[in-house]
């Protein structure tokens, strides 16, 4: 265990039988499981004694819907049509793991083991750094034959968790990339909180029209929910399963407020993230996924400019990064 005089603790832990790393600040306790795609599986408010992320009741429950727990890392995010795309003359074939639509879904790393490279505490901060190196996983290299590394830095300080992912191109070729998070909050945060008193806002603009395979047609459409969602709406009776462009004039953060619990969570994404998926199933599961994406679903196949799709490229020997910040506020 490592501890600073202003509460900052980093220590090894266990989560449902997996080796984990736990970080603690004055306000929050955060747990990450490297073997499960370096997934943050828990953000716990010490003052309110409330878990903010959706957590499974058992390993069996987790295995039935693993992407609906914690913060899965999607590289690249969402679906790729037929699992195929071409880039700079290179042809790629990803596994078809969404048999219902015949697409690849949710990327290459959310269920892979990452390595812990650093854990430290000091100056009121708890820091955990993990890394995924593609050359150590032949399943990933078979689908995306570029040596690359993802380095995740998690910094917990008081009521704030900062999550930065660096993408390193260690290969001799440029490659396209995109990243997203299938972040699943338990919302409302408290079991006895009213959905009528649970307010959600998101910085969304036009919605991407999807076809029957849940792939963008390339056509953005005006959605009458965008204005109210920018202002904030009660989540009661609301069903969401949509992909939106970020509203250009809005601050790039989703906000979840549970008035009964006295908790507000601000989920900020930096300028690399230009799209959001909003998902809560059929609206009755008491969970909500505000998912920031750097690129739109199937961006590598869309006949649109990267300025619109958000598809990014890294040249050999270069790197890029993207950052999200979760801030927990107590409103009473």
> What CA–CA distance (Å, rounded) separates 243 from 100?
19
Look at residues 310, 329, 325 and name the one whose alpha carbon lies nearest to residue 244.
310
Phi, psi of 141 (to 5 degrees): -65, -30
Tens of pLDDT, residues 160-182: 999 999 999 999 999 999 999 99
Mean pLDDT of the chain: 96
For the question of residue 106 being annotated catalytic, the response is no
Contact, 180 vs 150, CB < 8 A?
no
Cα dist from 105 to 213, 222, 320, whole Å: 11, 26, 23
Q: Is the pLDDT of residue 223 over 70?
A: yes
Q: Where are the alpha helices (DSSP H) in the chain?
A: 59-64, 138-143, 226-231, 306-309
Q: Is the pLDDT of residue 68 over 90?
A: yes
Q: Is the pLDDT of residue 3 over 90?
A: no
For the question of residue 158 being annotated catalytic, the response is no
Per-state percent for the chain, helix, strand, coil, to nearest 5: 10, 50, 40
Catalytic residue among 182, 186, 275, 279: 182
Q: Is the pLDDT of residue 191 over 60?
A: yes
Judged by DSSP in three states, 299 sits in: coil
Name every residue whose Cβ is closer than 8 Å to that of residue 64 and which is 6 or more positions away in sequence.
none
Q: How confident is the model at residue 7 (pLDDT cuts 50, 70, 90)?
A: confident
Domains identified in the chain and CATH numbers: 2-330 (2.70.98.10)
- What is the sign of the dihedral through the CA atoms of 178, 321, 327 and 36? positive
Phi, psi of 232 (to 5 degrees): 115, 130
> What CA–CA distance (Å, rounded) separates 313 from 323?
17
Mean pLDDT value across residues 132-137: 98
Mean pLDDT value across residues 122-131: 96
Q: Give residue for tokens 């029957």.
A: 212
Which range (1-15, 24-38, 49-63, 202-216) has the least confidence? 1-15
Tens of pLDDT, residues 290-310: 999 999 999 999 999 999 999
Q: Is the pLDDT of residue 332 over 90?
A: no
Q: Is the pLDDT of residue 66 over 90?
A: yes
Output b/e per residue, 113-145; b: 16+ Cβ within 10 A: bbebeebebeeebbbbbbbbbbeeeeebeebbe
pTM: 0.96
Contact, 312 vs 278, CB < 8 A?
no
> What CA–CA distance (Å, rounded) separates 92 from 245?
26
């Amino acid at each position: 265990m490592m501890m600073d005089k202003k509460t900052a603790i980093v220590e090894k832990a266990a989560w449902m039988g997996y080796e984990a790393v736990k970080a603690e600040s004055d306000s929050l306790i955060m747990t990450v499981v490297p073997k499960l795609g370096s997934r943050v599986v828990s953000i716990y408010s010490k003052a309110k004694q409330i878990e903010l992320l959706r957590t499974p009741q058992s390993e069996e429950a987790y295995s039935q819907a693993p992407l609906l727990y914690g913060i899965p890392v999607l590289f690249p995010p969402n679906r790729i049509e037929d699992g195929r795309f071409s880039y700079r003359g290179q042809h790629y074939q990803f596994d078809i793991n969404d048999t219902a639509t015949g697409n690849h879904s949710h990327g290459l790393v959310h269920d892979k083991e990452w390595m812990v490279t650093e854990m430290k505490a000091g100056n009121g901060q708890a820091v955990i750094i993990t890394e995924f190196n593609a050359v150590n996983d032949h399943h990933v290299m078979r689908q995306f034959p570029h040596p690359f590394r993802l380095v995740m830095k998690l910094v917990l300080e008081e009521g704030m968790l900062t999550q930065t992912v660096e993408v390193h191109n260690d290969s001799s070729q440029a490659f396209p990339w995109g990243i997203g998070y299938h972040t699943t909050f338990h919302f409302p945060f408290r079991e006895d909180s009213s959905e009528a008193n649970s307010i959600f806002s998101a910085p969304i603009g036009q919605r991407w029209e999807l076809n029957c395979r849940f792939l963008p047609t390339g056509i953005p459409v005006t959605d009458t929910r965008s204005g109210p969602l920018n202002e904030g709406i009660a989540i009661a009776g609301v069903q969401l399963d949509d992909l939106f462009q970020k509203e250009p004039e809005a601050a790039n953060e989703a906000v979840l407020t549970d008035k009964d619990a006295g908790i507000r969570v601000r989920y900020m994404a930096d300028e690399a993230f230009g799209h959001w998926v909003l998902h809560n199933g059929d609206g009755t599961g008491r969970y909500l996924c505000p998912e920031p994406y750097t690129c739109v679903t199937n961006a590598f196949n869309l006949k649109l400019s990267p300025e619109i799709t958000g598809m990014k490229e890294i040249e050999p020997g270069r790197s890029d990064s993207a950052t999200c910040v979760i801030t927990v506020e107590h409103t009473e």
